[in-house]
Structure 1
Amino acid sequence: MNNSASSSGSGTTRTFEFGRTHVVRPKGNHQATIVWLHGLGDKGSSWSQLLETLPLQNIKWICPTAPTRPVAIFGGHPCTAWFDVADLSGDGPDDLEGLDASAAHVANLLSTEPANIKLGIGGFSMGAAIALYSATCHILGKYGNGNLYPVNLSAVVGLSGWLPCSRTLRNKMEGSIQAVRRAASLPILMCHGLADDVVAYKHGERSAHALNSVGFRNLTFQTYNGLGHYTIPEETDGVCNWLTASLGLQGSRS
């Protein structure tokens, strides 16, 4: 399934061609749908294969593939990336156009799910950055470009990632009681390894503090000793337990 999303900024519109989307169907009663986003240079199929093995019976997983685009951190060399990035920390300039296009692509994938299904977004590394950015779009009710954010999120997971646009989040939330209320009730799980040599642990920790300080009260930040920039069974077990509890999944574990 190929999709494209347009993003408008300063009078120009760029179209991003998204790669193939892989779907893991629920083995039991469908209670939740989660879009799971891969990291820089990866593709949806590598995560769909892992998610297929998880003991969660009631979740449908949607694993899209990012557009192939020039990436500043690689000197402009093209690879799959949800947005352009100069460094994996949130310290560089934010590619708002790319962020909004990917967040909109994810929201569109969720928008066709049945009304009684709980919706979530998760991801690894740069995918986690889009998941966390989507969380801020959800609670503000709009993307960075001002367009309305169309879906209601029930859970967000970010592994080995960071929060884009953290510097402007507080200003955007000030004066919006509704945004603060939404932030307080949205469950977020962030996990980071102390030995991560790609997205340093301090960047994940700082992002968690940034979210917490503006009102994301239902945020869990889980640290893993010795974990680098990858995932391990202990971490995925933790994610499964957290999702089961946060989404109220019935009879979910096998």
Structure 2
Amino acid sequence: MGANSSRKKMSSPTKLASSKHTATVIFLHGLGDTGHGWLEAFTQIAKPHIKYICPNAPTMPVSLNGGFEMPSWFDIKGLDPKSPEDEDGIKKAAKSLQDIISEEETKNNIKSDRIIVGGFSQGGAVALYSALTTDKPLAGILGLSTWLPLHKSFPQGCKGNKATPILQCHGKSDPVVPFTMGNMTADLLKSFTSNHELKSFNGLGHSSSPQEMQDVQVFIDKVLPHE
């Protein structure tokens, strides 16, 4: 069965702004998860002028887990940097994220430079790739416990957002996406972007933490101020 043969329709748990909606955060969850938990996390740090969208990935077979079907943005064949990648799936997921950006622009009159895209782990990989392969200027990019997929296509494949603020966070005790992979991603991003920061967290595994979310809040407040 192909990786795309049993995709189910994506839905988007969303927290609406409590005042006039002038900015948006779009954040993608990791493999096997849903957007609901992340939406709750952002609710704790929400600002009234910002809408938060945490889409649910479609369900598909994942090679890494023996073909078991689960929420996934693309197929993962292995966690080693040299493992083959699902190029078509990554690009399709990136296009889906870019479509959400376009919808915010057309339906809600939110300019792309008032939108942050981000994600955790596999979702962060989609966010990084999507942000760097669109020519629409973004307010910021968030990558938590993640990596840059199809890394050999960069910097040549970068179409925009080279000066857009990027906050990358990674736990030093991550057993799933090792900190070394986060460091390699940071080195690559710094080679062709000009506003990148990597924050590391001692003792943090493949998860988030209150300190990390505080840093995320500071980043969001900085790049999406109230208008």
Provide TM-score, normalisation by structure 2.
0.89
Choose which of 87, 103, 123 in structure 1 pairs with 2:78.
Answer: 87
Question: Within 5 Å, which residues of 2 pair with 1:63-212?
Answer: 63-113=54-104, 114-117=108-111, 118-138=114-134, 141=135, 151-172=136-157, 179=159, 182-212=160-190
Q: Is the 8 A contact 1:56 1:240 kept in 2?
A: no
SS of 2:148's partner is coil
SS of 1:156's partner is strand
Asked whether 1:228 is paired with 2:205, we answer: yes
Choose which of 245, 249, 254 in structure 1 pairs with 2:222.
Answer: 245
1:110: Cα distance to partner?
1.9
- Residue identity in the other structure for 2:140: A
Q: Is the 8 A contact 2:29 2:120 kept in 1?
A: yes
1:45: Cα distance to partner?
1.4
1:133: Cα distance to partner?
0.8
Quickly say closer, same or farther: Cα 1:26–1:188, change in 2 above 3 A: same
Q: Is the 8 A contact 1:89 1:162 kept in 2?
A: no
Number of residues of Structure 1 aligned to a counterpart in Structure 2? 219
- Residue identity in the other structure for 2:226: Q
Distance 1:245 1:136 in 2: 20
Distance 2:223 2:101 in 1: 18
Which structure 1 segments of 5+ residues have no match? Answer: 1-12, 142-150, 174-178
1:30: Cα distance to partner?
2.2
1:60: Cα distance to partner?
0.6
Quickly say closer, same or farther: Cα 1:60–1:89, change in 2 above 3 A: farther
Equivalent residue number for residue 56 of structure 1? 47
- Residue identity in the other structure for 1:130: V
Equivalent residue number for residue 20 of structure 1? 11
Q: Is the 8 A contact 1:37 1:127 kept in 2?
A: yes
Q: Percent identity at matched positions?
A: 34
Which structure 2 segments of 5+ residues have no match? Answer: none
Choose which of 180, 195, 199 in structure 2 pairs with 1:218.
Answer: 195
